[in-house]
A and B are shown apart, each in its own frame.
Chain A
Amino acid sequence: MLFSLRELYLPAMVFSIILDYQIAAYSFYLYRKHRKDKIGLNKFLLAFSSLFGIGATSYLFLVISSFYINDGYLTELLMRIGVSLLQSGIIVVLLILLSKSFLTLVNSRFIKIICALSGISVIYLLFFYVKSIGLFPNILLGLIGGAYILYVQTKLAKLTSGTVHSRLLINLIGEIIFITGLFLGSGLPYIPMLFDVKEIFYFVGSYVVILGLLTIIYGTFKFPGVLEFNWKNNLLKLYIIDARNLFELYSYDFSKIRNFTEEPEPHYKNEENNLINSIGVVGISDVFDRITETYQNRIKTIKYGNFTILLEYEEDFKFQYLFVLFVNENMKSLQLFLKKVKNQFLMSYKSLLTNIDIIERFRETTFSSFDMILHKILD
C-alpha cells in the first residue's frame, strides 16, 4: 500500500486555505449587512475579515514555497512574501482597532508603536532581508500584535452578554486552537532536533488548524448581529406591575441615562403616570389568552409599529408581578436584561412583596431604590 503523510496533510492545508477565505468572505458579508446601522463596533467584523483573507493568502504562499518549489532562492522569496502578508494582516487589524469605536478598549499608543515597528519589519523582510537575522523580528512583532488582538477580543467579549458573548468566546477558543495548529505545523518542524519527524508535525498541525477554523466558523455562523453591542440604546422604558391588583409598582425612563439632545421622539406615549402603558399591557395579555384559548404560556412580545414590548413573568404560574420593557427593537440581549431585572427585583424586595398593605400605602416611594440596582445591571 503506497502511503505518504504528504498526501494527508497537503489536502488539509489546501482545505484550511479554503476555510480561511470562506470566513473572510462571510465576515465581510456580515459587515456589509450591518453597515447601514452605523454601529462602530461593526468594524470588528471588517477586522476579522481582513485578518483571515490576508492570512489565507499568506498561508497559500507558505504552502507553495514549502512543498512545491525546489529552487532555493524562489522558496525563500515566496516565504518572505507569505510572512510579510501575514504581518500586514495583523497591521490592518490593529489599524482598524484605532478607530473611534474601539478607543475605550485599546491602548492606542501601544498599537501605533506595534504598527510602526511591524511596518519597518515588513520592509526589512521584503527589501533588506539578512539571513543571519532571519524572521526573528517579524515573528516576535507578529506574536505581540496577534496576542494584543486576542486580548482586545477578550475585552470585547466581556462587554457583551448572551449569544454574542458566547459566540465571541467560541471564536477566541477557535483562534487559540488555530494558532496552536500553526505553531505545530509551521514552528516546530524547523527546530533542528525535530526535523526528522517534521512530516508528523505537518500532519497534526494541519488538522488542528482545520479544527480551529471549524470552531471559528461555528462562532461566526449566523452571528447574532453586531446590533447586539448597541442594545442599551434600544431601551425605552421599564415598568414593574402588580398584575393581580392592577397597579404600577415601579417605572424607569431610560432616556435619563442618554443625552437628551440626541434623543429622537419616542414612538410611544412617554408621559409620567401614563397608566395605559403599563396596566394596558396586562389587559392585552389577558385578552389575547382568551382569544386564542391558550392559558399555558404567556405573551412574550408585542410588536406594534416602530416599537416592541417585551414581557417577563414570575416563575410561579399564578403570577402576580409582571415586568414590561418598551424597546425600539427586539434583541436577545434585551430579553436577558429583562430577566436579570426580574430576578434582581424579586430577590431585593422578597420580604416586602408579601406585605400588600405596605406596598399599597407607600408604593410611590417603596421601590425608588431600585434605580441603583438597575444602574448596576446596566453597567
Chain B
Amino acid sequence: MLGQDLFPLTGPLREPLIIIEWVIVFLFSELAFLLYMRIKNKETKLSNYIEKASILFLLAYSQMWVFYIVGDYYMQTQFSRLVVFNIGYILRMILAVIFIYQIEKFQIFFRKYMFTIIFSIFTLISVVLFFTAIEYTQNASVVLFWIPLLLILLIYTMSLAKKTGEEQGMKFVKRKIYFSMLGVTILILGFGATSDPIISVLGLNFRIVGDIMQIIGIIVLSIFFINLPSLSEQHWKNKIDKLFLMRASGICIYYKFFRDPSNNRQEQIISGAINTIKIILKEISQSEGEMVIEKEGKVLITYQGKYITGVIIADQNLSSLNFMLKRLIEKVEFQYSNIIRDWDGAMEIFLPIDNITQEIFF
C-alpha cells in the first residue's frame, strides 16, 4: 500500500486531478444514461439484457471512482481511507454480481449462473474481510474482483465475436466488438496507472496520464455502444419462422419451416397466397418492388431476384434476415441460372438448395 504520507493528495496537481477524475465519473454516468435511453422503450427481451448489463458496468465504474476520489482527496487517516474504499468495493461487487447475472441470463458459460455464484461468494468474502482484516482488502480486490471480472468479460466477448461469424455476414459487428475490447483495454491500463503501486514508483504525474487514458477508453467505448446495431440482430434464429423461394408464377420451388420442420403445411398454397398479395400490390403500384408487410409480432419480407422471389416470414423485421435472404437468392440464382430459365417443372432439381440454406442460415 502506498505510503499514507501521500494521502490526502495535495499540491498543485490536486485540483487538475480532481477535475479530471470527476469528469470521468460524469462521463461514465452519461454513457450509462445514453445507453439507457437507447433501450428504455424496447421490450424486456434477452437481447436487451446485454445492453442493460453494460449500463450496470458503467454505473459500477462510475460509483467506484466516486469512492476513490473521496478516499484519496478527503480522508486524513489510512483507516478512514480504507473504510471509504471498502464501502466502494462492496457496492461495486454487488453491481458486478447483477451485471454478471444479466449476462448469464443470455449466455451460459460452462454451467448456468456459474460466474454469478462465484461472484456472490467473493462478495461475501469481501464483506467478511471488511470487518475482520480491512488492511488486506485492497490487494484482495485484485483476486476477488478484477481477475474474475476480466475473465468473464474476455470469455463473453470471444463467444460473442465467434457467434457473429463471417458466414453470417456480421463482420462489421465482429470488428466493433474487437474495437470495444480495445476501449476496455485502454480503460484498464488507465485505471492501473492510477493505482497506488504505480504512483508510488512513477509519481503523481502518472496519475494524470492514467486519467487521460481512461477518458480515451470511455470515448472508444461510447463510439462502440452508440454505433452497435441492436443486439436483437444476434437472435435472428429465434425470429425466423418460414422461408419460401418462388418463381414469378407463384410456384414454390423451395421452402423451409424453421419452427416446425416436420409438418407439411401446404407450401404451394402459402406461396400462391403470397404471390396473390404481390399481384394486388403490383396492380396498385404499376411497378415491381420489395414488399414488407408488418403487424405486431409478425412480418413478411421479400427479396426479388432476376428469376426467383425470396420470402421470409418472421417475428421481427431484422436487417440480418434481409441480408441473408438477399445472399440466398443471389447464390441460388447463380447456381440455377441456366436451369431456371428452361425449367421443366421437376421439383427434385431444387432439393440441393437446402445445402445453401444450411450454409447461410446455420
Chain A interfacial positions (CB closer than 8 Å to B): 1-3, 6-8, 10-12, 14-15, 18-19, 210, 214, 217-218, 221-222, 267-269, 276-277, 280, 283-284, 287-288, 290-292, 294, 296-307
Chain B interfacial positions (CB closer than 8 Å to A): 8, 10, 15, 18-19, 21-23, 26-27, 30, 33-34, 37-38, 73-76, 241, 270, 273-274, 276-277, 280-281, 283-298, 300, 313
Q: How far is the CA of A13 from the CA of B19 in the complex (A)?
A: 9
A298 CB to nearest chain B CB (Å): 6
Contacts of A11 in B (CB 8 A): 18-19, 21-23, 26
- List the B residue with the shortest CB-CB distance to A1: B74
A299 touches B19 (CB 8 A): no
- List the B residue with the shortest CB-CB distance to A3: B74
Contacts of B8 in A (CB 8 A): 2
B313 touches A291 (CB 8 A): yes
Q: How far is the CA of A300 from the CA of B296 in the complex (A)?
A: 8
Contacts of A268 in B (CB 8 A): 284-286
- Contacts A11-B18, A14-B19, A280-B283 given; does A2 touch B10 at CB 8 Å: yes
Contacts of B274 in A (CB 8 A): 291
Task: From A210, A214, A221, A304, give the contact of B290 (CB < 8 A).
Answer: A304
A22 CB to nearest chain B CB (Å): 8
- Contacts A283-B280, A291-B300, A292-B313 given; does A7 touch B285 at CB 8 Å: no
Task: From B26, B280, B285, give the contact of A284 (CB < 8 A).
Answer: B280
Contacts of A267 in B (CB 8 A): 285, 287
A291 touches B289 (CB 8 A): no
- Contacts A267-B285, A283-B280, A292-B313 given; does A303 touch B37 at CB 8 Å: no
Q: How far is the CA of A8 from the CA of B33 in the complex (A)?
A: 21
A276 touches B280 (CB 8 A): yes
Task: From B75, B241, B293, give the contact of A299 (CB < 8 A).
Answer: B293
B33 touches A214 (CB 8 A): yes
A297 touches B283 (CB 8 A): no
Task: From A1, A222, A288, give the contact of B300 (CB < 8 A).
Answer: A288
- Contacts A221-B34, A290-B273 given; does A301 touch B294 at CB 8 Å: yes
B287 touches A305 (CB 8 A): yes
Contacts of B27 in A (CB 8 A): 15, 18
Q: How far is the CA of A309 from the CA of B270 in the complex (A)?
A: 22
Which residue among B8, B288, B291 has the maximum number of chain A CB atoms within 10 Å of its CB? B291
Contacts of A307 in B (CB 8 A): 285
A303 touches B295 (CB 8 A): no
Q: How far is the CA of A297 from the CA of B294 in the complex (A)?
A: 10
- List the A residue with the shortest CB-CB distance to B279: A280
A10 touches B285 (CB 8 A): no
Question: Chain B contact residues: over half helix, strand or loop, or mixed?
Answer: helix
29 sample A-B contacts, Cβ–Cβ < 8 Å, listed by A number:
A10-B15, A10-B18, A10-B19, A14-B19, A15-B23, A18-B23, A18-B26, A210-B26, A214-B30, A214-B33, A218-B37, A268-B286, A283-B276, A287-B273, A288-B277, A288-B293, A288-B295, A290-B273, A296-B297, A297-B296, A298-B295, A299-B293, A299-B295, A301-B293, A302-B281, A303-B294, A304-B281, A304-B284, A305-B281
Contacts of B293 in A (CB 8 A): 284, 288, 299, 301-303
A366 CB to nearest chain B CB (Å): 25
Contacts of B291 in A (CB 8 A): 302-304
Contacts of A298 in B (CB 8 A): 295
Q: How far is the CA of A217 from the CA of B32 in the complex (A)?
A: 13
- List the A residue with the shortest CB-CB distance to B25: A11
Q: Given A7-B15, A218-B37, list of 15 further CB < 8 A pairs?
A: A1-B74, A10-B15, A15-B23, A18-B26, A214-B33, A222-B38, A267-B287, A269-B283, A276-B284, A280-B284, A290-B273, A291-B313, A302-B281, A302-B291, A305-B287
B289 touches A304 (CB 8 A): yes
A7 touches B287 (CB 8 A): no
- Contacts A2-B74, A214-B33, A301-B293 given; does A291 touch B283 at CB 8 Å: no
Q: How far is the CA of A297 from the CA of B289 in the complex (A)?
A: 25
Contacts of A214 in B (CB 8 A): 30, 33
Contacts of A290 in B (CB 8 A): 273
Q: How far is the CA of A301 from the CA of B8 in the complex (A)?
A: 63
B224 CB to nearest chain A CB (Å): 16
A287 touches B276 (CB 8 A): yes
A305 touches B23 (CB 8 A): no
Contacts of B283 in A (CB 8 A): 269, 276, 280
A247 CB to nearest chain B CB (Å): 17
Q: How far is the CA of A58 from the CA of B73 in the complex (A)?
A: 30
Contacts of A12 in B (CB 8 A): 22, 26
Q: How far is the CA of A15 from the CA of B276 in the complex (A)?
A: 59
Task: From B73, B285, B313, give the contact of A305 (CB < 8 A).
Answer: B285
Contacts of B300 in A (CB 8 A): 288, 291-292
B298 touches A294 (CB 8 A): yes
Contacts of B297 in A (CB 8 A): 294, 296-297
Contacts of A6 in B (CB 8 A): 15
A304 touches B285 (CB 8 A): yes
Q: How far is the CA of A210 from the CA of B280 in the complex (A)?
A: 55
A305 touches B290 (CB 8 A): yes
B23 touches A291 (CB 8 A): no
B286 touches A291 (CB 8 A): no
- Contacts A291-B273, A304-B290 given; does A277 touch B284 at CB 8 Å: yes
A15 touches B295 (CB 8 A): no
Which residue among A268, A280, A305 has the maximum number of chain B CB atoms within 10 Å of its CB? A305
